Amino acid sequence: MSKLTEERQKLADALDAANQRHREALRCARQEGRADAAQEVTADLLVFSKDLEAKRVTGTLTELAEKHRELTCEFLRAVEERGLVVTPAGTERGWGVAITDPAIDLEIESTLAEASEARAALAAFDAEHGETLAAEQKAAEAQKIRDALDGDDPDAIRELINGARDTALTTADLV
């Protein structure tokens, strides 16, 4: 394998690895990260709200409102400490909120940029060395033909003439 072919293979491998990291970042965002952050910071507040609805907590309206404010403040502190973002969601009036982790989006953006850079590097390499690589490939193929013809292996010659077979022979191949 020539140095150019080796260099191109390294660039292709780097592109494959970058694409894999990007796919993994997208998978994590879909499966884990987006919901985890919201569930973690809202857990206590959700339990309290469900207990209120089910009338499992008692106290005066003032006491219950104070507990609700306390849990809301804890929720907001957790959002701030973790660097999360709260945005209106669901309606024009903002009756609901979405909690997101911008670090996940940054990871996706970073891995996408890495894959784009790797793709551009491979494309630039191919543009610069494509003709040379094609000539090397043709020369290697010609050498393979010469080696087969110089040898005593009829299967190798047949393979060169007919091409490699990845499938089983059929009766049509026997005529």
* Residue 55 included in any domain: yes
User: Taking CA 4 as the corner, what is the angle to CA 122 and CA 127, rounded to the nearest 5 degrees?
Assistant: 40
Distance CA 34, CA 90 (A): 17
Model pLDDT for residues 45-99, shown as the tens digit of each residue: 999 999 988 989 889 999 999 999 999 999 999 999 989 988 888 777 657 888 8
* Residue 106 included in any domain: yes
Give the pLDDT mean for 29-56. 83
User: Taking CA 132 as the corner, what is the angle to CA 123 and CA 147, rounded to the nearest 5 degrees?
Assistant: 125
Structural domain boundaries enclosing 98: 3-129
* Residue 160 included in any domain: no
Structure confidence at residue 35 as a pLDDT band (50, 70, 90)? low
* Residue 149 included in any domain: no
State which of 4-8, 61-65, 95-99, 114-118 shows the largest mean pLDDT.
Answer: 114-118
Structure confidence at residue 117 as a pLDDT band (50, 70, 90)? very high
* Residue 113 included in any domain: yes
| Total structural domains within the chain | 1
